Structure 1
Amino acid sequence: MNFLRKLRTLDLNVTPICLTLFVGPIRCRKQWFYSKSPKRRFPNATLNRFRNFESEDLPHSRRDKTLLARRFVPGFLIICASGLIAQKIQYFKEKFLSLLPPVLADYSNLTGRRTEYGFIADVANVSAPAVVYIEIRDKKRIDYYTGQPTPISNGSGFVIEPNGLILTNAHVVIDNNLKNNMSILIKFVDGRTFEGNVECTDTLSDLATVRISGSNLPTLQLGHSSSLKPGEWVVALGSPLALSNTVTCGIISAHRKSEELGLMKKQIVYLQTDASINQGNSGGPLLNLDGEAIGINSMKILPGISFAIPIDHARNFLQTSTGQKYAQSSKSSRYIGITMMTITEPMIAELRRRQLSLSEKVREGVLVWKVVPHSPGESGGLHPGDIITHVNGVEVKSSVQIYEALAEKGKPLDLVVYRGQKELKILVKPDE
């Protein structure tokens, strides 16, 4: 219908112009009245006199008026005739369109669906007040414009006790490079900010608690992850790329043992989900449709393949971590400033399917997920997306081997890295 209306408007505007442009010049060049061929199309005295009109001996002024009339009057008449024709065309088109039945969308069956199927929005509205944005700052580096410590990294967390206990990932709040120069800013969705202190950590499970001074704070209820089935709807809340309170949803894809992911020492059955979990989502809650926290968002391997720590494992951490503080749990180790993840053959096959430039020589290894700016890893030449296949001449099958190499004091890391199709040799000198 819209196409026909546009066509009608186009005809009304363009038809007179086209007739004038094409028919007028033809008339002025005498193409209507005679042919250039020796055989004349209309051999009669009137046309012969008209063809030889310019050779007649007429006064100059009369000749000019006659030429002017001969050149412009036919064009004017043609415009008038084309306007009448266009009106008739419009009339018949309107008649034709009036015969067509009207086509209208039927919205009667859709009424009320926003309320009936808005379960994701309901979960987000109930849970969002208890989700916090966590920002790690360097107290030694002051921002010139704000006068505040410079932000280094960020993540998410959620309140589990009204007196200010927050559960998050250990890698969100631990930065060995900052150590005593680190400060933690906690921000709620309503704009309130607090200074946080790391209370307990478990680097093996990648869990930590942060304490803030507050009372009657909104909290999330902890659910049970053992009863989750693949295919159940889940909602992920967090602050990806510092965008606070971002909501994504998906399903539970599977339960994955840590050994399947190359994490030999963790002994965790991770929740695999296709809900989007990006940098900054770490530490945020994974919720069921009852608004209960059933997992802690932890890591993303590929788009559509992310993992969360089950809340049942976090319950055990909360019960056994009351006596162990962060200052006592941090161990001195060498630092290279990268976040890495063990990748298996199925993951490499998926990477190769999505990234055609990945070398066929890569079978196993460790994926460099993040490189801290100005760290030994960046100085050595590591980039996010690199795959480490050898360290100090030994084939790498797990990130544990990287940590073991870091435990050897005074020895640099001689790495073989694949970046797309290129094989690179990189020497990284860790900070002691």
Structure 2
Amino acid sequence: MGIVSNPKRSLNELGLSAPIHYVQTDAAINVGNSGGPLINLDGEVVGINAMKLANSDGVSFAVPAIYVEEFLQGVDKQIATGSKVGYPRRRFVGLAYYLLDDEAKRQDPDYASLECGAVVHSVTVGSPAHFCGIEPGDVITKINGQQVNSTTNVQKALHDTTKDTLELEISRHGRQFKVSLKFGDQ
């Protein structure tokens, strides 16, 4: 048994693009067991376990069952009408990040002089972020010339379908440089 600590958690402040709210829980979610049901004490499925917060024990997220139901109803309609079943492809960058804050500045002297930015937590091997040379620990200070001071800046750039490339300004160990990141699809 566990606890649902927030039934409508927005993931924007964690640097994730999510059009929905998630159920925040302390259910143990690890590689290999995401995708399983989150069940209440009455045996009802209330969500689908989706992810856990990196570097954290006991903070996990589930997609609320209502969204799963809506998605499946949409698939049923597509099948019934003979439409192609699927969903829009998402732009894929291949990195996880968190916003630079005072705690990160205290822990790493390389970050102390930076005003703001997105600290790269991890990079997926073979992703667009990997191919353009981004590394964990890098700080993305600007995207397309705009200073990164909130997750909103990052999400707007990721969802701007008028551009196929992001121009990023990076700080790495006190050194500044620029990279061009071409989107992939997922």
Match of 1:311 in 2: 65
Q: How does 1:107-122 map to 2 (within 5 A)?
A: none
Whichever structure has more strand as a proportion of its residues is 2
Match of 2:132 in 1: 380
Q: How does 1:159-170 map to 2 (within 5 A)?
A: none
Deviations 1:96-131 (A, max 9, x none): xxxxxxxxxxxxxxxxxxxxxxxxxxxxxxxxxxxx
Q: Compared with structure 1, are the counterparts of its residues 296 and 366 closer, same or farther at alpha carbon in structure 2 (3 Å cutoff)? A: farther
Match of 2:141 in 1: 389
Match of 2:163 in 1: 408
CA contact (8 A) 1:334 1:430 kept: no
Highest Rg: 1 or 2? 1
CA contact (8 A) 1:377 1:428 kept: no
CA contact (8 A) 1:381 1:426 kept: no
SS at match of 1:322: helix
Q: Does 1:293 align with 2:27?
A: no
CA contact (8 A) 1:376 1:428 kept: no
Deviations 1:172-202 (A, max 9, x none): xxxxxxxxxxxxxxxxxxxxxxxxxxxxxxx
Q: Does 1:283 align with 2:41?
A: no
Q: Compared with structure 1, are the counterparts of its residues 369 and 255 closer, same or farther at alpha carbon in structure 2 (3 Å cutoff)? A: farther
Distance 2:175 2:61 in 1: 29
Q: Compared with structure 1, are the counterparts of its residues 334 and 260 closer, same or farther at alpha carbon in structure 2 (3 Å cutoff)? A: closer
Q: Does 1:357 align with 2:108?
A: yes
Distance 2:138 2:84 in 1: 31
Q: Compared with structure 1, are the counterparts of its residues 391 and 258 closer, same or farther at alpha carbon in structure 2 (3 Å cutoff)? A: same
CA contact (8 A) 2:9 2:24 kept: no
Report the TM-score, using the length of structure 2 for normalisation. 0.65
Letter of the 2:133 counterpart: G
Distance 2:175 2:52 in 1: 25
CA contact (8 A) 1:340 1:370 kept: yes
Aligned length: 172
- Residue 394 of structure 1: CA displacement? 1.0
Q: Which has the higher contact order (CA 8 A, sep 6+)?
A: 2
CA RMSD of aligned residues (A): 3.8
CA contact (8 A) 2:123 2:129 kept: no
Q: Compared with structure 1, are the counterparts of its residues 407 and 379 closer, same or farther at alpha carbon in structure 2 (3 Å cutoff)? A: same
- Residue 391 of structure 1: CA displacement? 1.1
Identity of aligned residues (%): 32
Distance 1:312 1:322 in 2: 15
- Residue 339 of structure 1: CA displacement? 4.2
Match of 1:47 in 2: none
Whichever structure has more helix as a proportion of its residues is 1
Deviations 1:336-389 (A, max 9, x none): 4x0435x457xx46x639x92272436453755441x33332121123454433
Report the TM-score, using the length of structure 1 for normalisation. 0.33
